[in-house]
Amino acid sequence: MPGQDICVKISGEAGQGINIAAQALAKAFTRKGLYVFLLTDNPNSIKLEPAWCSLRISEERILSQSHEVDILVVLNRDSLLRRQQEVNIGGFILYDQEAVKLEDKDKRAEAGYISIPFDRLLKELNAPPLLRNTVAIGAVLGLIDYDIKVMEAMLEEQFSRKGEQVVRQNNGALNAGFSYLKENFKPGFNKKLKANTPAGRMFLTGNEAFCCGALKAGCKFIAAYPMTPSSAILHYLAAKEQGYGIVVKQAEDEIAGMNMAVGAGFAGARAMTCTSGGGFALMSEALGMAAQSETPVVAVMGQRPGPSTGQPTHTSQADLRFVIHASQGEFPRIVIAPGDAEECFREGFNAFNLAEKFQLPVIVLTDKYLVESYSSWEGFSLAGLNIERGKLLNQAELDKVSDYKRYAFSEDGISPRALPGMKGGIHVATSYEHDEYGFYQEDPAGVVKAADKRFAKLKLIEAALPQPKIYGPDDAEITLIAWGSSKGPVLEAMKMLAQAKKRVNFLHLVYIWPFPGEAVRQAIQKAKVTLGIEGNKSGQMFGLIREHTGTKLTHSLLKYDGQPFYPIDIYNKVKELF
Amino acid sequence: MATPLELKAKYNPSWCPGCGNYGILNGIKQAISQSGFAPHEVVIVSGIGCSGKDPHFVNTYGFEGIHGRVLPVATAIKLANHKLKVIGCAGDGDAYGIGAAHFVHALRRNIGITYFVHNNQIYGLTTGQTSPTSDKGFTTKSTPGGVIEEPFNPLALAIAGGATFVARAFVGEFDQMKEIMAKALLHKGFALVDIFQPCVTFNYKNTYQWYQERAYKLEDEAGYDSHDKELAFKKAVENSGKLPIGVFYQEERAAYEESVAAIKERPLIDQEITNIGIKKTLEEFL
C-alpha cells in the first residue's frame, strides 16, 4: 500500500454509539490534515445486533475503505470472537478483559491483545457505560501516540449543546482511555501518522454532499417517505428548511412523495423526492406521469439489496435495470450514478438543471455504501454551477405568444413551459397521450407525432451529457468497467496494481441512461481483456454493454453479499486474470 | 373574475348524455365565477375516471394526473404557489378507493384545496364495477352476488378526521350545489364537497329519481348548526333512509400552508434561485 495508512475497526452492537465515536475521531483526523474514509455497517435494528465501522486514515488521499485491520476495538465479547481473525499480523486488539474474560487459548498469537477496563474506568469517573466508545478512542489515540487535544476539541463541539457535564464526562473518558494505555502498555505499534498542515478539508457523506448540490441548485421542495438509505436526505434538508426556504414534506407514502414532487415541479418549484427500491416501486407510476406530462422532477434512488425488503441496511447495485425501465410505456429519462461524495455534490446540482432543461424525470442512482460512508474532501468547486432552466417562460416572454401550446412541436422536442398563475399560459398538463395543447388524443398519426416529439429530446440529451471517464493509461493490458459507487474501490485497486507493475485502466460510468453506447464501445474495443465490476448477481451493466455495443466483456466480477467492493477484491481478480 | 362563459374551454365534454358530470362542470364554472377568481389563478387537478376529464373543459390551468393521486399533486401545487386557487376533482374510486390514504391525510393537514368528489356509487369509465360508496347488496359486474361490505361514509370520516369544511350536494339540486361549491372555494383550508352524480349508463339503482326521493336540505332543518361537530357527525351517520344534503360541518382553523415557514413571505416559486450561496453550509463539514 502506498503511503502510511492506519485502519481501525470498531465493533460492538447497535446502540453502543460506535458510529458517533468513529465520526468524531475521523473528523478530528481530517482537521489535522489527514484523509479518512469511514465505512459503517449497521444491522436492521436499533439495539443489540452486531454493528461495526472501519476508519482508514492516511496521509495521502484515499478513495475507499481497506480490508486491512491494524487496530480492532471491540466493545463486547461477541465482536471479539467474531472479528479477531480480521486483524493484521502485528495488529492490536483493544478489549476489556474484565468484561469479556477471554482465555489465552482463544487468542491469536499474531496479534497483540490490550485490555482496557472500560467499565471500571467509567465507574471511577462516575460516567455512564455508554461512554465505552469514548474510552476506546482515547486508547486508540494513545496506541498510535497521537495528539489528544484535537479530539478533546471535537468532543466539546459535538456535545456542548448537551451541557457542560456531558462534555466533561466525555473528555474524562477520553483521557482515561488515553492515560490507561500509556501507563500500562509500552509502545509497540509500528505505524505513525504525521499530522499534516490543516487544509480545511470537509468530512461528509454522499447523502450530505448530494444535499449541498441540491441546495445550490435551488431545490425548493422535497416530499418523501423515510426509507434507508435515503432518509438522511430528508433529515438534512429539513434541518435547512428555514435557512434556505425549502418546503420539506414527509408524505403519507412514497406514492404521495413522488406525486407531490411532480405537482411542485408543474407549479414551477425545483422539486425532488428520495427513496430506496421498495419506495421507488411505489413511485413508478408517477415517474411515468412526470415523463408523459413533461414535468421536471428529481428522484434519488438509494439502492440496498433486494428483492423485496431484502437487507435494508446494506449495499447493492442491483437496481440499475429497475430504474432504467421503471414504469409502463417508453419515455426518455436520465439516470445518473455518482461515484463518490464529490460527484454526489456535482450531480446533485446537475440533476435539477437537466430535469428542467429537458422537462423530464431525472433519477440519481445511489446506494448505501456511497451515501452513508464518510470521506475527506478538499472544498467542492462551485465554478460553473449555473442555474439553467431551459425553455421556462417568464410573463414577458409569454405575453408575446398568441396561441400558447404547452406541448408545441419543436425541432428539439422541448416546448416552452408556462407556469400556473401566468397570464396567457393556460393549459392542462396530462398523463394521457395528448395533442400540442395537452388535450387527449387517439388519432394514430397524432400519437406517433407526440411520442416522437418526446423522444426527439434524446439527441440533445446525448450531446449534452458528459461522457464516461477513463482513468489510467491508454495502452492498458486490461480495462476495468464499473459504474457508480464502485469507483473508489476500483481506483484504490489500481494503485495496488500499479505497484505490482500491472498496466490497467478504468472506464467509469456516471451518466448511465441514455446509455453512452458509442463511448463505451470505443473504450472497450481496444482492450484485450475487459473486466466488468458491479454489485449485483446478474451483471446488469455487463448486459447493457452487450446490448448497446454488441461486445461481450471478457470477464466479470460480481458481488451481491450486501457489502461494497474492497480494493483487494478487484486486485485479486485482476491478478488472477494475468 | 370571469363569467361562466369565459370559463368555458374550447373543448366540449363527451360524457354520456344525462351524466351528472355535466351539471357539476357547470357548477364549477359558476362557482369559480361567483367566487371571483381569475382563470389563470386557478388550477384544477384531476385523477382518472369520467371526472378526470374536468380540467379540459374549464378555461383554467389543469393537471390531469393518475388514478387516485389528485390530492398529493394538488397539495404540492398549493405549497409551491399558495396564491393559486387549487381545486381537486375526483371520482368516488379516485377519492375513496385507490386514493383513500391521501384523503385521510389531507383532512388532518387542512391544506387549502377544494375537493369536489363526483360520487356516482359505481365505477363508470371502467364500465360498471362496484365502488367504495356502492350500497350494500348492489350488484355490479364485479359483485354479481351483491356488495358485501358497508358503503364508505366520506362525510363521517372527514368530520372525524379533522376536516374544516364538509358538505354533500346533489347535482339534481343545482342551485344549492353551486352555492355550496362557491362557499367551499372561499373556505380557508381543506374543503370536501361530496356530490351525488347519477351514472346514467352503469348505475341502474342510484338514479336522479332515487336521489330526488331521498335528498333533503340541511338548511331546511330547524336548529341545524353546521359549527356543531357532534351534531354534524350524527347527521353524517344518520340511518333514516334519507340523504341530507348541504354543509354538514365547518370550522375556522389555520390552513397548512399558513404554518409553513418557507413560504411566509412569498410563494416558493417566486424565490430567487439563480445564485444561492452555500459556502457557509459547506463549511459546516470542516
What CATH number corresponds to the domain at position A497? 3.40.50.920
Nearest to A247 among B79, B275, B276 (CB): B79
Nearest to A379 among B77, B104, B282 (CB): B282
User: ∠A61-A62-A66 over CA atoms, to 5°?
Assistant: 155
The answer to whether the Cβ–Cβ distance between B262 and A430 falls below 8 Å is no
Tell me, yes or no, whether A197 lies in a domain.
Answer: no
Residue of B nearest to A419 (CA): B61
Classify domain B20-283 at the CATH class level: alpha beta
Nearest to A202 among B79, B275, B286 (CB): B286
DSSP B126-162: TTSB--TTPPTT--BTTBTT---SPPP-HHHHHHHTT
Q: Does residue A481 share a domain with residue A442?
A: no
> What is residue A526's predicted lDDT score, i.e. its pLDDT?
84
**pLDDT surpassing 80 at residue A442:** yes
What are the pLDDT digits (tens) for B256-271?
Answer: 999 999 999 999 999 9
Averaged over B48-61, what is the pLDDT?
97
What whole-number distance in Å separates Cα of residue A482 and Cα of residue A530? 11
Last residue of a domain, one of A449, A464, A479: A464
Averaged over A259-282, what is the pLDDT?
98
Q: Does residue A27 share a domain with residue A155?
A: yes
Tell me, yes or no, whether A382 lies in a domain.
Answer: no
Q: Which residue has the higher pLDDT, A44 or A210?
A: A210
The answer to whether the Cβ–Cβ distance between B64 and A203 falls below 8 Å is no
Q: Does residue A267 share a domain with residue A152?
A: no
Averaged over B224-240, what is the pLDDT?
96
What's the gap in Å between the CA of A487 and the closest CA on chain B?
A: 23
**pLDDT surpassing 60 at residue A255:** yes
**pLDDT surpassing 60 at residue A370:** yes
Q: Does residue A211 share a domain with residue A177?
A: no
A235-256: b or e for each residue (b if 16 or more CB lie within 10 Å)? ebbeebeeebbbbbbebbbbbb
What's the gap in Å between the CA of A239 and the closest CA on chain B?
A: 11
Tell me, yes or no, whether A390 lies in a domain.
Answer: no
Nearest to B282 among A202, A218, A430 (CB): A202
- What is the percentage of chain B residues whose pLDDT exceeds 70? 100
Nearest to A289 among B65, B104, B260 (CB): B65
The answer to whether the Cβ–Cβ distance between B76 and A387 falls below 8 Å is no
Find which of A34, A201, A426 to mutate to test the B interface (most B CBs within 10 Å of its CB).
A426
The answer to whether the Cβ–Cβ distance between B77 and A289 falls below 8 Å is no
Residue of B nearest to A209 (CA): B282
What's the gap in Å between the CA of A388 and the closest CA on chain B?
A: 9
> What is residue A194's predicted lDDT score, i.e. its pLDDT?
79
Last residue of a domain, one of A133, A152, A184: A184
Last residue of a domain, one of A428, A446, A464: A464
The answer to whether the Cβ–Cβ distance between A262 and B55 falls below 8 Å is no
Cell of A499: 505497484
**pLDDT surpassing 60 at residue A340:** yes
**pLDDT surpassing 80 at residue A188:** no
What whole-number distance in Å separates Cα of residue A414 and Cα of residue A411? 8
What's the gap in Å between the CA of A120 and the closest CA on chain B?
A: 35
Q: Does residue A334 share a domain with residue A246?
A: yes
Query: Mean pLDDT score of chain A, rounded to an integer?
Result: 95
**pLDDT surpassing 90 at residue A47:** no
Name which of A108-122, A176-190, A367-381, B167-181 the model is least confident about.
Answer: A176-190
Tell me, yes or no, whether A118 lies in a domain.
Answer: yes
What's the gap in Å between the CA of B253 and the closest CA on chain A?
A: 20
Domain count, chain A: 4
Averaged over B145-169, what is the pLDDT?
98
Q: Does residue A519 share a domain with residue A420?
A: no
Domain boundaries, chain B: 20-283
What whole-number distance in Å separates Cα of residue A170 and Cα of residue A155? 7
What's the gap in Å between the CA of A223 and the closest CA on chain B?
A: 9
Tell me, yes or no, whether A384 lies in a domain.
Answer: no
Strands (E), chain B: 42-46, 61-64, 85-91, 113-119, 165-170, 191-196, 215-217, 243-250
Residue B180's Cβ-count burial label (10 Å; 0-12, 13-18, 19+) is buried
Residue of B nearest to A272 (CA): B76
> What is residue A2's predicted lDDT score, i.e. its pLDDT?
40
Q: Does residue A521 share a domain with residue A557?
A: yes
> What is residue A14's predicted lDDT score, i.e. its pLDDT?
86
Which value, in Å, is the radius of gyration of the alpha carbons in chain B? 20
DSSP A198-213: ----EEEEHHHHHHHH
Kind plus residue range of the DSSP H or E element containing A557: strand A555-558
Q: Does residue A228 share a domain with residue A180?
A: no
Q: Does residue A150 share a domain with residue A24?
A: yes
**pLDDT surpassing 90 at residue A264:** yes
What are the pLDDT digits (tens) for A120-164?
Answer: 999 999 999 999 999 999 999 999 999 999 999 999 998 999 999
Averaged over A229-237, what is the pLDDT?
98
Tell me, yes or no, whether A191 lies in a domain.
Answer: no
What whole-number distance in Å separates Cα of residue A87 and Cα of residue A112? 10
**Order of strands, sheet of A35-41, starting from the edge strand that comes earlier in the sequence:** A112-115, A92-95, A71-74, A5-13, A50-58, A35-41, A374-377, A202-205
What are the pLDDT digits (tens) for B76-118?
Answer: 999 999 999 999 999 999 999 999 999 999 999 999 999 999 9
**pLDDT surpassing 60 at residue A548:** yes
Find which of B37, B59, B77 to mutate to test the A interface (most A CBs within 10 Å of its CB).
B77
> What is residue A208's predicted lDDT score, i.e. its pLDDT?
98
Nearest to B286 among A200, A247, A423 (CB): A200
- What is the percentage of chain A residues whose pLDDT exceeds 70? 99
Residue of A nearest to B14 (CA): A440
> What is residue A17's predicted lDDT score, i.e. its pLDDT?
86
Name which of A199-208, A452-461, A512-521, B185-194 the model is least confident about.
Answer: A199-208
Per DSSP, the three-state class of A303 is strand
Alpha helices (H) in A296-340, listed in sequence order: 320-325
Give B113's contacts in chain A (Cβ within 8 Å): none
Q: Give me the total of CB pairs closer than 8 Å, taking one residue from chain A and one from chain B.
A: 188
Confidence of residue A1 (pLDDT cuts 50, 70, 90): very low
Phi/psi class of residue A421: alpha, beta or left (left: φ > 0; alpha: ψ in -120 to 50)?
left
Confidence of residue B28 (pLDDT cuts 50, 70, 90): very high
Cell of A411: 425541432
Looking at residue A250, which CATH number applies to its domain? Answer: 3.40.50.970
- What is the percentage of chain A residues whose pLDDT exceeds 90? 91
| Stated length of chain B | 286
Whole-model pTM over 0.90: yes
Cell of A191: 505505524
Give B76's contacts in chain A (Cβ within 8 Å): 221, 223, 249, 259-264, 267, 271
What whole-number distance in Å separates Cα of residue A260 and Cα of residue A286? 9
> What is residue A283's predicted lDDT score, i.e. its pLDDT?
98
> What is residue B209's predicted lDDT score, i.e. its pLDDT?
98
| Domain carrying residue A334 | 205-377
The answer to whether the Cβ–Cβ distance between B276 and A240 falls below 8 Å is no
| Positive/negative CA dihedral, A532, A533, A537, A543 | negative
Give B81's contacts in chain A (Cβ within 8 Å): 267-269, 419-421
**pLDDT surpassing 80 at residue A187:** no
Q: Does residue A453 share a domain with residue A476?
A: no
The answer to whether the Cβ–Cβ distance between A263 and B73 falls below 8 Å is yes
The answer to whether the Cβ–Cβ distance between A439 and B56 falls below 8 Å is yes
Q: Does residue A151 share a domain with residue A13?
A: yes
The answer to whether the Cβ–Cβ distance between B281 and A422 falls below 8 Å is no
Nearest to B84 among A240, A259, A420 (CB): A420
**pLDDT surpassing 50 at residue A213:** yes
Tell me, yes or no, whether A142 lies in a domain.
Answer: yes
The answer to whether the Cβ–Cβ distance between B76 and A221 falls below 8 Å is yes
Averaged over B164-184, what is the pLDDT?
98
Question: Cα torsion for A181, A187, A188, A192, to the nearest 10°?
Answer: 100
Confidence of residue A3 (pLDDT cuts 50, 70, 90): low
Q: Does residue A140 share a domain with residue A13?
A: yes
Confidence of residue A368 (pLDDT cuts 50, 70, 90): very high
DSSP A207-240: HHHHHHHHHHTT--EEEE---TTTHHHHHHHHHT
Find which of A260, A345, A349, A378 to mutate to test the B interface (most B CBs within 10 Å of its CB).
A260
Per DSSP, chain B holds a count of helices (H) and strands (E) of 9, 8
